[in-house]
Each structure stands twice: as C-alpha cells, then as structure tokens.
Structure 1
C-alpha cells in the first residue's frame, strides 16, 4: 500500500477561531464583561474552557480581541463616517451609524464599547479602563476631523472642535444606552436629527 506523502503533522485546532471569536463578541455585547460567564462564553463558542484559554488567553484577553472585532466590524461605521466630505456629514453619519448598529434586529441592542463594563467590579478594572480609552480614542478621532473642518474654513473659526466632538460622541453613547433600553430606531433617529439642527455653519 502506498504511503501518502506530505500528510499534515500535528493535531488540528478543531474549530474556526474567527467564528468562535464572533460568537464571543455577541455574548459580551449582550451581557457585558462580568455578565458573560466562562461557561456561557465557551458554550456559545462551541469549545472547551481549555481550548478557549489556549486560543485566546484569559477572559480579559478574549474580551480585548472581541472589542477589536467589534471595532473593525459593527463599529466600523465610525471610520467610514470620518471620511465624509463635510463635518456635518461626518456627524450625521456617526449618529445614523450608531442608531443602525445599536438597533439591528439580529444583533444585541446597545453598544459593546459603552455597556461592556459599566457595572464591572474591581476585578474588571482593566476592562473598564480599556473601554474608557476606546471611547476617548473615538472622541479624539472625531475631534481631529472637526479641527480639520475649522482649519479649512468649513466650520466657524470660533468653533471648539473638542467640545463639538464631545457633544456628538456623547449623543452617540446616549443613543446606544437608549437602544439597549428598548427605544426604537425611528425615535432614536428623530432624536439624532433634532440634535444636529443647530449645527454651526461658517
């Protein structure tokens, strides 16, 4: 009998890492960091606790990877919004993206980056700090976009880009909290539209 050459050596991992991470992201998104138990995570991921630790590290590392996936996936509307040709267009796209992402029927409502560790105890301080930095990084990106609009003369020279960025991101975070509380998409979009009616014009 002929022996097959170049057969794979070693034991295959046995599960799709990307699919498992996607499922973990959804669990964290729905339940938050502390609300997501290890048993709940591994059951959703379809793997054993041993496999989870081997592939992703501890629970906090798994959460960090899930947050990266959220940022590059459901949360990617922020990056796209900042590419809008006007500051108002960017603000409008940020709020519309927040409404859309936090109220999607097949996904958990709310925002992983807003609610992920709001109720975390001292043991979850690392995740709390991670999410605070995540939110601040988002605000800084929006501020830089609005600063460019001031420099280009699109926004009045007296506009405070930092304050305006904080205003828009606070609205976005508030929308996420309201969405998690069950407020509907149309109502949230109406609130977003009303909030931008007094946008500063040059």
Structure 2
C-alpha cells in the first residue's frame, strides 16, 4: 500500500510514487550489510528503487534515513531483545537474548551479523551522527536489561551476589560478540553453543 503523503507535501504536487515502507526496509538491509560509511547514496537509492531527490524529500538526509533504519531494525529483526524482557525469569531473559542473537545474526533472509555492530564501523566526521545513534541504541538496550535484572534481584529471582549492571553488560557483550562471529561465517549451531557456555558462567536462582 502506498504511503500517505504528509499534508505539507501535498501542495507540491502528486503524491510519492513509491512504497515508503518497502524503501525503508531496503535501506535497512543496505546499512546492515555495508555499514553507515560503506553505504553510498547510490547503493541506497538503487536498493530503495527511488531517486536521490525522492530520498531527500522523504527522509531529509542520510543521517535521518539511518536513524529510521535503526528504528526499523529494532522493531523487526532485533525485536527479540524487547520480547526477551517479558520472559518470567532473569535466566530466561538472558537466554532469550543470546539465542535470539544467534538466530537473527545467521538468518538466510538477511545479512549476517547485527546492524548495530556492522553499521558502527564508521570513520571520520561523516560518521559521527551514525556513531551517536548506535551508542544511544546500545546504551538504551543495556539500560533496559539492567532494569529487568534489578527487578529480578528485588523479586528474589536473581542472587544478591549478581550485579545487575555487570550482568547486563556481560550478556550484551556476548550477544554482540555472537553477531560479530556470525558476520565472519560462524553457524547458528556454533553460536548457540556459545550461548550455552555464557549461560553456564552465571549463577541463576532458578533452572
């Protein structure tokens, strides 16, 4: 279905002749595969099936397109992270994140690895905005996980000896490491074994 034309743009003439949702999906995949700096405007517009002027009209600039792509990634391929927070125990939360990372990072339907890791390979002033978007993205994810572990400890589900912040940092570090290994060609089975090892390294109250 065609995206609705904002009121401010209807005065300029006919509505957009492309599917905004599809275009954003394709942009996300380009950033995922090539990183922020590696994704040229030619790469992006060709994948999105639009002209450069249409891209600017719809998204403003490359930085804004990237920010929207990260949002889409969070709500789509990386949504396992948000869903994991609803698991009933701290152990299940952590396991869901690690196993989700192994599965999502090795999907045959998308680039291997994690957009939040791949796209972080930005250098120079042109990548500063993208770097900040990703730093904020990772910090937000770690903060949500820390909050969930704090709740688990308060409920007696996590031992008092476990530091929620350190545990959240550990789980996210392993999850990102899994994504890096996926990008180098490790299989899902190999990475699921890494998840097993990481889970066995932590003292859990249940299971």
TM-score interval, normalised by the smaller of the two chains: over 0.9
- Matching residue of 1:48: 51
Q: Deviations over 1:25-44 (max 9, x none)?
A: 00000000010000110000
Aligned length: 195
- Matching residue of 2:3: none
The match for 2:130 among 92, 104, 127 is: 127
Moved more, 39-48 or 123-132: 123-132
CA distance in 2, matches of 1:195, 1:25: 30
TM-score (norm 2): 0.91
CA distance in 1, matches of 2:25, 2:186: 25
Are positions 1:97 and 2:109 aligned together?
A: no
Are positions 1:173 and 2:176 aligned together?
A: yes
TM-score (norm 1): 0.93
- Matching residue of 1:37: 40
User: What is the Cα deviation at residue 178 of structure 1?
Assistant: 0.5
Q: Deviations over 1:78-103 (max 9, x none)?
A: 11001000000000000011011110
The two structures, once aligned, show a CA RMSD in angstroms of: 1.3
Point out 4+ residue stretches in structure 1 off by more than 4 angstroms: none
| Gaps in structure 2 of 5+ consecutive residues | 1-9
Cα pair 2:153 2:160 within 8 Å, conserved: yes
The match for 2:151 among 148, 153, 156 is: 148
Cα pair 1:33 1:120 within 8 Å, conserved: no
Are positions 1:115 and 2:118 aligned together?
A: yes
User: What is the Cα deviation at residue 198 of structure 1?
Assistant: 2.9
Are positions 1:81 and 2:45 aligned together?
A: no
- Matching residue of 1:20: 23
User: What is the Cα deviation at residue 200 of structure 1?
Assistant: 1.4
CA distance in 2, matches of 1:124, 1:199: 36
CA distance in 2, matches of 1:37, 1:177: 22
**Secondary structure at the residue paired with 1:175?**
helix
CA distance in 2, matches of 1:27, 1:122: 20
**Secondary structure at the residue paired with 1:74?**
coil
The match for 1:63 among 61, 66, 70 is: 66
Q: Deviations over 1:155-191 (max 9, x none)?
A: 1112210000000000000001110111111000001
**Secondary structure at the residue paired with 1:85?**
coil
CA distance in 2, matches of 1:116, 1:87: 29
Are positions 1:161 and 2:164 aligned together?
A: yes
CA distance in 1, matches of 2:167, 2:140: 15
